[in-house]
Each structure stands twice: as C-alpha cells, then as structure tokens.
Amino acid sequence: MMKRDFLHITDFTTNEIWETLDLAKEIKGKLKNREDFKPFKDHSLAMIFAKPSARTRVSFETGFSRLGGHALFLGPNDIGIGKREAIKDIARVFSGYNDMIMARLFEHNHMTELAKYASIPVVNGLTDFNHPCQIMADILTIYEHRGHLDNMKIVYVGDGNNIVHSWLHLAARIPFHFTCVCPEGFEPDSEPIKRVEAAGISTVEITHDPKSGVAGADVIYTDVWASMGQKEEAEEREKIFADFQVNSAMMNSTGKETLFMHCLPAERGREVTDAVMESTNSIVFDQAENRMHAQNAIMVKIARLQ
C-alpha cells in the first residue's frame, strides 16, 4: 500500500474530508472525556520547523502525546534543512527512526521533496504556498458553530497568501462561495483558482472592493498583511492594506450575523482591531483549539489507524 501524505487539502477526496471532520469531532470528544485512546502508542513524530510557530508546535506536540505517542521538536537551528543537510537525506534518515514527519518549511517544493523521499507519512505544517491543517481546523470550527456547511459565504480580507490557497483547495472539494478581498497585486496564485473552476462545485470571487465583497458574509476571515519571510515589507504593506482592516464597521456592514476568524498570530490594530478580536462573534480561540483536533484526525487517518 502507498503511504499517505497530507501536503494539500486536495490530497484528500471529498469523502475523506468529511470523514476527517467527523473523526476530529469523535477524537475531540474522547480527549475531553479523558478516555483511554492511544492509537499512537510506541509511535514517534518528528516535527521540523524552519520558521517560528506557537500553535503548530504546541498543537502537534500535545495532540500526538495525548494520543499515546512521542513528538520531537527540531527548530530552525537544529537541522539546517536544505542547507546543512539535503532534504532527501533527512527524509530517509528520519524514516528510519520515526513513524511520521510534520514539517513547516519556506519553499513548497521542499515539502514535496521531503514527502517524496520519506517512506513515512508527511504532514504539511505550512509553507509559503499553503497551510492545509489550518483550513481543516477552520472548517471544523465553522461546522461546529453552524451545525452544517450549507450555503456558506466565506470572505477572506487581506493578502492572497498561503491561507487563501488552502481555502481555494477546500473549495475544490466541498461547495461554498469564497470571496477574496485584497489590494491589487496581492491576489492568490492562479493554480488554486483554476482547481476550483475545474472542480465546478464552488464559486470564487476576487475583488478589490471591501464594501461589496463582505456583503452577506457568514464568515469574515483575515491574516497578517506580511507573512513570515516578508516582514521587511511590513511597513510598505501597512500603507497598501490600510483600507482592508477588519474593524467593527466592516463586521456590522454585512447585513448578516457574521463570524470573525483569524488563523493567528494576529497583529491587533493592523489587519484586525482589538474590538473585533474580542467581540462575541470572534471564534479565533475555538479555531486555535481545533488545530489540535483536526490534526489528530488527519494523522490518525494517514497512519491508517482508523
């Protein structure tokens, strides 16, 4: 049997996405009830981080150990992946010690190379291109809050970045309306947009007008204006993105009860105001918690333990 990786949301079929969401809810219930559920007993997870992280590290490490396994943290200065040692060498070395790899890398082709040479499953914990575990946690959170995923309008306001690419990949697997409101020149890549068009189950709108874009939104979602690796552009981007801040006026202009989401870390006062982060419609901390539950389900699924 071929080993399974989770590098993109589209690595899962529509059925597998629904199964993963149901499994996430089931495992979440077991952990909340402190049930004896240890599918990763005697298993180890190598976690490779080339970029900083709070949620990804803590949710994977805690999740894997709660499921009976041992997770090892390797920070940006430990391996020097792709610099001190070739990716394809690390892939095979770790395959000899561990049962699974989770990696957060800069270049997406480094992630695919790691998966290609590893004989154990690889989970993508973010690249410059995408962040599939985040969007699986996000859709789980929306599912829990709404009770269903029918007729959703998700509006992302900000930079057309790795988060947007994973939202688009999800739109190629389950149906919803996705709007990306971004400044000109900051649109998402064309590859994920083409995928949604080819799948033909969701509708996508890319607009530069926040006012019309957020109308009828069930969810307004944002992320930092300058991602990891772009922080030197932060000052310039702050001017370009000034009209794209998610504030109370924007949240109240949708004509609907609208949930607020953010993958975090948030830069309060830039892409989102403190008031919106703290509002009753903000579900950012449920989202953060669900990183662990969604990832647990993804790992159990690709390890073929359920």
Residue 38's nearest CA partner among 73, 72, 19, 65 is 65
The size of the interface with ligand NVA (CB under 6 A), counted in residues, is 8
The span from the CA of 221 to the CA of 181, in Å, is 10
Q: Are 213 and 244 in contact (CB under 8 A)?
A: no
In this structure, which amino acid lies at residue 269? G
Residue 293's nearest CA partner among 100, 32, 79 is 32
Say whether 263 is catalytic: yes
Query: With CB under 6 A as the contact rule, which of the stretches 24-32, 82-90, 188-196, 257-265 interacts with ligand CP?
Result: 257-265
User: Peptide bond before 265: cis, by omega within 30 degrees of 0?
Assistant: yes
Least Å distance, CB 230 to ligand NVA, is 8
Is residue 71 within the footprint of ligand CP (CB under 6 A)?
no
Cβ distance to ligand CP smaller for residue 213 or 270: 270
The span from the CA of 212 to the CA of 155, in Å, is 11
The span from the CA of 227 to the CA of 233, in Å, is 9
Is residue 56 within the footprint of ligand CP (CB under 6 A)?
yes
Is residue 264 within the footprint of ligand CP (CB under 6 A)?
yes
Tokens of 226: 């300058």
Tokens of 213: 């874009």
Is residue 134 within the footprint of ligand CP (CB under 6 A)?
yes
Query: With CB under 6 A as the contact rule, which of the stretches 101-109, 160-168, 207-215, 250-258 interacts with ligand NVA?
Result: 160-168
Query: With CB under 6 A as the contact rule, which of the stretches 106-114, 187-195, 204-212, 223-231 interacts with ligand NVA?
Result: 223-231
| Residues making contact with ligand NVA (CB under 6 A) | 161-163, 223-224, 227-228, 263
**Residues assigned a catalytic role:** 263
| Residues making contact with ligand CP (CB under 6 A) | 53-56, 126, 134, 263-265
